[in-house]
Amino acid sequence: MSTTNHLVSAVSVHKAEAVLFFTLLQLTVIVLAARLGGELAKRLGQSPAVGEIIVGILLGPSLFGLLAPDVFDYVFRSAPAEPMQVLSQIGLILLMFQIGIEFDFSHLRERENRQAVTRVAIAGLALPFALGLSFGYLSAPELSPHADQFGSGLFIATAFSITALPILGRIMIEFQLTRHPIGVIAISAAAINDVVGWLLLALVTTLTLSNFDATAFAGKVALVGLFMGVCWFVVRPLAKQAVRRTRHHGHLSPHLMGILLAAIFVCAMTTYKLGIFAIFGGFVMGVLVHDEPELVEAWKERIGHFVMVFFLPIFFTYTGLRTNIGGLDTPALWGWCLLVTVLASIGKFGGTYLAARSCGLKHAEASVLGIMMNTRALMELIVINVGYDLGVISQHVFTMLVLMAIVSTVVTTPGLRRWLPKMGHLVPGQR
């Protein structure tokens, strides 16, 4: 009996070591490829995140699996997918917390150009949402036949409505637009878009998980509302008190960082138990402490870089492994993909442009606003991964929305280089 137990134990250890080996192999490939992609993107005048997203997609079956299927299978299919999935979700929770603490809510109170901000924000939400809902609902029988039509429409509408605030902020810094009136309007309207977008995603997720039952939906919304109330009136004061007590000569203690990580994970577990995705808990915790500058700085210094260098590429590659561009193998599917990209761009760019023109902005200024508001990138990928996990969009639609997110982000930089000089703004690096 003892010999049998030893054999079982040895086999178990060997299996665990094999899983560890392939997980480390995947992480090595992902991290190095992300660095390479980010550097290439910078040299091409793009945001490094754009390069990391594209590399993540290329590491999947769309290119790596197509060109070297045996090597691809050895790297990504030799071990269970669960370790990478778990790492991806942990990274996404930490990333959502980081998005929450970097959110500058002062933009929502900006008095300058308030009329333009309001109109751009409303139009930049309403038109893409309407187009996305119509497209998702009407195309579901053809593209996502196993999904609920209304649920598919709501998720695509939310995906069309989102703007990638973190990426947009970095692009604006590069083009020295942070203090320009157009920059103020864009970042303020994008902030409103993101707040409403995350609320929409939470509500749509809750509605989908309740199987569109009004009573169940109302119950989940009430529980989420209670959770938000407890977070704001109980957790937030406790977090602020913890920051004050652990501050020492302008620095925050490792104990506080440990407590903060635990709080993030507890919030994530709570939102999971409430019936919405764990990532919302990370974002909520970030919002609760976003106005503690020392805490935000300590997070960025000790953990933030690691999240961006290690966890973020894992999420991009996880998305890439679910994306199969080769699966769009008919002219009809590519036609649908083109339609998705065009409708999403028309919704964001067109709605923003018309709203800006109605406020008296010139053609070039309205075009710049439209280009910036159409930037989606990471935020889009988060939304569509949620929709794919819920089964309200098919693999084909998932791939189409990934391509739309990439296209809408890649065109931002060249679009700004084209239109900024026409509104009299000097582009850095150009005469």
What per-residue confidence (pLDDT) applies to 384? 92
CA distance 202 to 213: 16
- 87-96, 109-118, 338-347, 380-389: segment of lowest average pLDDT: 109-118
Q: Which residues contact 265 (CB under 8 A, 6 or more apart)?
A: 93
Neighbours of 159 (CB within 10 A): 30
SS3 96: helix
Measured in degrees and rounded to the nearest 5, phi and psi for residue 248 equal -140, 110
| 135: pLDDT strictly greater than 90 | yes
The predicted structure's pLDDT at residue 112: 58
Taken as a whole, the chain contains a residue count of 431
Per-residue pLDDT, 104: 67
Give CB contacts under 8 A, 24+ apart, made by 198-203.
198/280, 198/283, 200/129, 200/158, 200/161, 201/158, 201/383, 201/386, 202/276, 202/280
Q: How would DSSP label each residue in 71-90? A: HHHHHHSSS-SHHHHHHHHH
What is the arithmetic mean of pLDDT over 94-117?
A: 75
pTM equals 0.85
pLDDT at 215: 84
CB-based contact 375:53 (threshold 8 Å): no
If residue 140 lies in a helix (H) or strand (E), which one and from where to where? helix 114-143
Query: Taking the domains of the chain in order of start, what are their residue ranges?
Result: 83-423
pLDDT of residue 355: 93
Task: Please tell me which residue, 187 or 5, carries the higher pLDDT value.
Answer: 187
Q: Which residues contact 187 (CB under 8 A, 6 or more apart)?
A: 104, 107, 165, 168, 169, 172, 178
pLDDT tens per residue, range 319-328: 999 999 999 9
Q: Which amino acid is at 417?
A: R
- 83-423, CATH topology level: Na+/H+ antiporter like fold (1.20.1530)
- pLDDT (mean) for 367-392: 90
For 248, the enclosing helix (H) or strand (E) is strand 247-248
Give dist(CA 373, CA 149) in Å, integer: 28
**Nearest residue to 277 via CA among 147, 57, 132, 96:** 96
Least confident of 172-176, 190-194, 206-210, 244-248: 244-248
Distance CA 26, CA 23 (A): 5
Inter-CA distances, 174 with 45, 47, 389, Å: 10, 9, 35
Indicate left, alpha or beta for 275 from its phi (over 0: left) and psi (-120 to 50: alpha): left
For 384-431, the pLDDT digits (tens) are 999 999 899 999 999 999 999 999 999 998 998 888 888 887 776 655
- pLDDT score of 368 more than 80: yes
User: Which sign does the torsion angle of CA 389, 395, 397, 403 carry?
Assistant: positive
Q: Where does 231-330 have alpha helices with state H?
A: 236-246, 254-273, 279-288, 293-299, 305-306, 312-322
Q: How does DSSP classify residue 425?
A: P
Q: How far apart are CA 92 and CA 89, in angstroms?
A: 5
3 state DSSP class of 247: strand
Average pLDDT on 87-110 reads 80
Using one digit for the tens of pLDDT, what is the confidence trace for 317-352?
A: 999 999 999 999 999 999 999 999 999 999 999 999
DSSP letter (8 states) at residue 347: I
Q: What value does the mean pLDDT take over residues 26-37?
A: 95
- The C-alpha atoms of residue 125 and residue 127 are separated, in whole angstroms, by 6
DSSP conformation class of 164: -
